[in-house]
Amino acid sequence: MAGHTAKTMAPIFAALGDPTRLALFIRLADGQGRSIATLSADAAITRQAVTRHLRVLEAAGLVASLRLGRETRFTFRPEPIAWMRGYLDDVSRQSNDAPGRLKGILED
């Protein structure tokens, strides 16, 4: 996808590569903003650990945070998923074209 390289996509894939972050991200994917307290209520990790994981997701652009009084609410951002889909489609096309390229090289 134009403008997206392995270097720009790596932080997104890395952020989702952790099972805890992936689970938090999936919970937010329904579009409902949630507070750290809500997200950590049934987590097997501390609120501080949930906060650290959310900050990694935020740094990768996968979630956004909004401060409302004493509470911070996190929401899902769909754009990085579209970027990932486009990037993976490009990689898939390249791998699908590889046998034809190899055949061309071998025939030359």
pLDDT digits (tens, 9 = 90+) for 18-53: 999 999 999 999 999 999 999 999 888 999 999 999
Position 63 pLDDT exceeds 70: yes
- The count of structural domains within the chain is 1
- What residues make up the domain containing 22? 6-107
What predicted TM-score, i.e. pTM, was given to this entire model? 0.80
The answer to whether residue 1 is domain-embedded is no
Burial class of 61 by CB neighbour count within 10 A (0 to 12, 13 to 18, 19+): middle
pLDDT band at 101 (very low <50, low <70, confident <90, very high): low
The answer to whether residue 64 is domain-embedded is yes
